[in-house]
Structure 1
Amino acid sequence: MKEAELIKEIPLASSDDGAITIATVNEPYGADSEPVVSLGIWLSKTSEEPDWKVHIPASNLDDVIAALQEAKKRV
């Protein structure tokens, strides 16, 4: 997997030392694979890897963003 380019780190509301990270990864699964946005949840920023991670294919971003905006209205 190629190296991720960090876009933003957001403090995790439910944690003293946690974070949400948003990064882009080009060719994450080898040559010619579709870019992804990688979302990581870190319960502690001192960890080497996030506790949870999801890769969203670039072609799904608009639908995911719309769904997150809808979810925000409901909480």
Structure 2
Amino acid sequence: MKESKLIKEIPLASNDDGMITVANIKDPYGQNSGEVVSVAVWLSKSSEEPDWKVHIPAENLDAVIEALQEAKKAL
């Protein structure tokens, strides 16, 4: 059974009505499919579904965080 836990809602810098959500999702693709972190971008908070989302397997999370930190330094 798919369980999700919202971790944080972040206002979207480029859009007054948008947001970024970060959530943990257990078994997103069915029983024993593992846990993922879902990062979703909503251009409008009133939308039923996000405009973009990515599911990052828990096992890849440290490497993705490291890459995001490198990307931030390069800005």
* Runs of at least 4 residues off by over 3 Å: none
The amino acid of 2:13's aligned partner reads: A
Residue number in structure 2 paired with 1:38: 38
Q: Please give the secondary structure, in 2, of the residue aligned with 1:49.
A: coil
Task: From the two aligned structures, give the one with the greater strand fraction.
Answer: 2
Question: Could you list the runs of 5+ residues in structure 1 that have no partner in the other structure?
Answer: none
Mapped partners of 2:3, 2:32: distance in 1: 15
Residue number in structure 1 paired with 2:64: 64
Question: How big is each residue's C-alpha offset from its partner over 1:23-74, in whole Å with a ceiling of 9 and x where there is no partner?
Answer: 0000111111110000000000000000001000000000000000000001
Q: What percent of counterpart residues are identical?
A: 71
Query: What are the within-5 Å matches in structure 2 for residues 1-75 of structure 1?
Result: 2-75=2-75
Residue-pair matches, total: 75
**Per-residue deviation at 1:2?**
1.3
Mapped partners of 1:3, 1:14: distance in 2: 30
Q: TM-score, normalised by structure 2?
A: 0.96
Q: TM-score, normalised by structure 1?
A: 0.96
Question: Could you list the runs of 5+ residues in structure 2 that have no partner in the other structure?
Answer: none
